[in-house]
């Protein structure tokens, strides 16, 4: 059992060495893109939630 775990960890390390990691600049740029899109989507959801709650208040 212990040998299987050690073998798995060793193979995982080899596979991680094959990964093409992004540069720091690319990582920062894409992180900013994700954050901006997340904020915009949250804004749309908040806006429509407020709008629908106001419309429902008219009927209740």
What is the per-residue DSSP string for the chain? -HHHHHHHHHHHHHHHHH--PPPHHHHHHHHHHHHHHHHHHHHHHHHHHHHHHHHHHHH-
Residues 19-43: tens digit of each pLDDT: 999 999 999 999 999 999 999 999 9
The length of the chain in residues reads 60
Position 25 scores a pLDDT of 98
Spatial distance between the Cα atoms of 50 and 56, rounded to a whole number of angstroms: 10
**In this prediction, what percent of the chain has a pLDDT beyond 90?**
95
30's tokens: 């894409």
Q: What's the pLDDT band for 3 if we cut at 50, 70, 90?
A: very high
Distance CA 15, CA 45 (A): 40
């Amino acid at each position: 059992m212990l040998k299987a775990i050690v073998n798995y960890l060793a193979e995982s390390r080899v596979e991680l060495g094959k990964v093409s990691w992004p540069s720091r600049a690319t990582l920062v740029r894409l992180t900013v893109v994700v954050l901006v899109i997340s904020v915009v989507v949250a804004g749309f959801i908040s806006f429509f939630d407020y709008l629908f709650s106001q419309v429902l208040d008219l009927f209740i």
